[in-house]
């Protein structure tokens, strides 16, 4: 479990699901919910082969945009 400096919603998994719904929740097909931040943390953790904790970075001074990079 990780904490961030701002309010974030990483995801929810219902604990009181009944048989079939519980099974569906175990592999993400039931009422499991996640956020973009939660999935970004999962993808980064898989890519780095360790648990990655997101953090906020104050401006780097560079104001490039995607259009500037093309």
Across the chain, mean pLDDT equals 75
Give per-residue pLDDT as tens, 23-52: 887 777 778 788 888 888 889 999 999 998
HEC string of 5-42 equals CCCCCCEECCCCCCHHHHHHHHCCCCCCEECHHHHHHH
Q: Where are the domains of the chain?
A: 1-56
pTM of the model: 0.53
pLDDT of residue 69: 52
Query: 8-17 pLDDT, tens per residue?
Result: 777 777 777 7
pLDDT value at position 2?
A: 53
Confidence class for position 61, pLDDT limits 50, 70, 90? low
């Amino acid at each position: 479990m990780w904490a961030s400096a701002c309010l974030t919603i990483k995801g929810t998994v219902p604990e009181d699901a009944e048989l079939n719904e519980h099974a569906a929740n175990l592999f993400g097909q039931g009422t499991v919910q996640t956020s973009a931040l939660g999935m970004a943390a999962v993808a980064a953790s898989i890519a780095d082969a360790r648990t990655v904790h997101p953090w906020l970075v104050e401006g780097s001074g560079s104001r490039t945009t995607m259009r500037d990079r093309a």
